[in-house]
Amino acid sequence: MKLNLSVEEVLTTTRSVRKRLDMDKPVDRSVIEHCIELAVQAPSGGNAQAWHWIIVEDRDLITAIAQKYQANFDKYTSKMEPLEPDDPRMHRSEENKASARYLADNMHRIPMLVLGCVEGRLNELPNAAQAPAWGSIIPALWSFNLALREYGLGTTWTTMHLMSFGEQIVAELLGIPFDSITQVALFPIAHTIGTDFSEALRQPISEFTHYNKW
């Protein structure tokens, strides 16, 4: 279902969707393939196009990845320092944690996962070499998120599965050559429950925009 949103609507209403993912409605592979086709129009350093996309529909594989994701989520959240009750971020923080917990608890139900990867082991490179590599995959991955929004699909950018040797485990599950491919992000994808997403609350740009000098 194409929503025919304006460019500004897509840019301002593409949200991280967790609780409003329809876990029971199948996702059409051809729509995902089209969203990837749109996404790879993004810039690629040296036109290397060193990206790889893995669409995971197999229920056993989704369950196995979800188990690692949840184990890592539990480990990560157990070490988080709680905010003070009077901290102005407290309410939003609790909402975000509940939303993230919902996804971790229900990842195994998701209709589809898409894993974005890039060629090379980026952690082994100096920053000057890492920067163009990240810059050649992240624009495409975000364009993918924007394309999903236009087609009534939702996701959230996750990296939780990478912790605690998770990248190696998922590489083995999916046959990814770990020594030469870096996993960048995991996207749980489903139709959204409703399509009425609004703009996020953000600080005024005057708080963080600099002119000529810091």
Structure tokens at 188: 């749980």
AA letter at 206: S
Residue 71 has pLDDT above 50, yes or no: yes
Domain boundaries, the chain: 7-79+100-194
Do 193 and 25 meet the contact criterion of CB atoms below 8 Å apart? no
Alpha-carbon gap, residue 49 to 51, rounded angstroms = 6
Residue 52 has pLDDT above 70, yes or no: yes
Residue 83 has pLDDT above 60, yes or no: no
Q: Cα-Cα-Cα-Cα dihedral of 127, 129, 135, 136, to 10°?
A: -160
Average pLDDT over residues 123-151: 92
pTM metric for this prediction = 0.91
Beta bridge partners of 182: 118
Q: Which of 63-72, 82-91, 114-123, 129-138 is the least confident region?
A: 82-91
- What architecture is domain 7-79+100-194? 3-Layer(aba) Sandwich (3.40)
The pLDDT tens digits of the residues spanning 164-198 come to 899 999 999 999 999 999 999 999 999 999 999 99
**Rounded percentage of the chain residues whose pLDDT exceeds 90:** 80
Residue 115 has pLDDT above 70, yes or no: yes
Residue 91 has pLDDT above 90, yes or no: no
**Rounded percentage of the chain residues whose pLDDT exceeds 70:** 93
How buried is 188 (Cβ within 10 angstroms: 0-12 exposed, 13-18 middle, 19+ buried)? Answer: buried
Alpha-carbon gap, residue 25 to 110, rounded angstroms = 9
Going by pLDDT thresholds of 50, 70 and 90, the confidence category of residue 126 is confident
